[in-house]
A and B are shown apart, each in its own frame.
Chain A
């Protein structure tokens, strides 16, 4: 059953990731999935490329490591299953298998981790045409169950510190790669930051 705050937020034409009472939204998401708790992260960017091209690039999960900072690799098993290896603090990695739960070409891809994942998580990426001539609006929504225990603390450091910031950085890199063919950087060795 839905919290009153969440119900009221639904009356606006805005995504729930922008709701004032974020904790109530997360609680509802966790209850829906039977998880202990949940964190919900969402972000939209406009990318000046056709919907079909963006969908196709994302649908080949191997490409994700090219712009996701912490993703070491995503290896497809078959068309629906993929294996994710993600960097964790202290040189460790966390891993899980994910299964595609929804796939509408040119519109949406959703996936969810399967039993035994180091971090239970689900992701959804939607592609919508922007106003005429204005490219594609891409919305990513990630929901995950912050793990408990020692590993949980490490993961928290990685993901929970600023999950919203992480999500918008990843989407920004996706946009850069799709629009310009490269990911902008000022890292050494261009003699830039020494601080």
Chain B
């Protein structure tokens, strides 16, 4: 089959690789019909995540048709499914608590040593996201093997086309959980840093959860327009001092909840960010945490900090004093996707949530390397790239 494979920093290619096969009883093989490039794929593209091997297939946002099942799968051939990017067994302590992104079993035993050392405990398995999360082949390919297929994939009813449901795999539940982690109360103002897909879905979700106001922060005008069209007030940090603006806009109190939907590769030209950039480039540090510092400083006393943005290593100059003295609550983590699939699919079906506005580019899978380059270099206009394996390159 054809698949998008990683070969090094800013070097991804289309390769011919062996087709996946059923390995364990609960596996299924999915023929991909749509797959997207995620903002977090750019962390792989930029080589911010360790333990990728040359030839690894990327991609963790995908859906398709069931073409083969193991005896323990609950799926049947021909079903259309969206697959959560997190792989979860459904039977461990964590899965029973619906903390699917903490599943204790899905990461193979021989892959967990590194995360046990780095984080104190083993990470959960995920598709196409380095060997830290299991080394599972991803879904930017024609086919993918889905372990524990009786637990993760959600069957999509006829009549809901791919573009409407594809983002159930990651970014829609991730935005939803980020808003849920804000524990929104009537009258609340929520400030969201980053108007990428997750930030935008967080804004949409926060309003659905009853937020009084949402303030969105970014520097790409096109992305800020999206935020505005959803009802958010906007701040372009190139032109406005963010913390001062937020304080003024909230009557001197500060936002009740703040969301870091940016993560480890924050942009911006402040002193701390430039120092972080130098340190990560020279491998003296890993994570650029400008946004994380800013959300903590901006949040009101006793407020809530939600961090859907991805971090992987150590933070320098972390404002622990502000966090403690203001009594902030922090909620973060990879998304417990499985928990949100059914209610979010229902809301899509009822027309309460529409995610299709986000898709700026649809390309054949064969053009995936070009998709990565565009998504990296033209972030203002390229908001989401969806890849279609059954499209011919010439047809695009």
Contacts and interface: CB of A to CB of B under 8 A. Distances in A.
B104 interface: yes
Contacts of B109: 168-170, 172-173, 176, 183-184
Contact of A184 (B21, B54, B134): B134
A111 to B, nearest CB: 23
B42 to A, nearest CB: 21
Nearest to B143: A191
A170 B108 CA distance: 11
- Of A48, A135, A165, A168, which is in contact with the most chain B CB atoms at under 10 Å from its CB? A48
Interface in A33-64: 46, 48
B24 A185 contact: yes
A153 B267 CA distance: 52
Given A191-B141, A193-B56, 11 more contacts: A48-B92, A48-B96, A176-B109, A184-B106, A185-B23, A189-B20, A190-B20, A191-B19, A193-B131, A194-B55, A194-B56
A132 interface: no
Contacts of A195: 52-56, 131
A188 B56 CA distance: 12
B25 A176 contact: no
Contacts of B55: 194-195
Interface of B: 1, 3, 5, 17-21, 23-27, 52-57, 72, 89-93, 96, 104-113, 116, 122, 125, 131, 134-137, 141, 143, 145, 147-148
Nearest to B136: A186
B91 A179 contact: yes
Interface size class of A (residues with CB under 8 A): 20 to 34
B134 A186 contact: yes
Contacts of B107: 184
B375 to A, nearest CB: 24
Nearest to A190: B145
Given A189-B18, A192-B135, A193-B135, A182 B26 contact: yes
A169 B110 contact: yes
Nearest to A182: B24
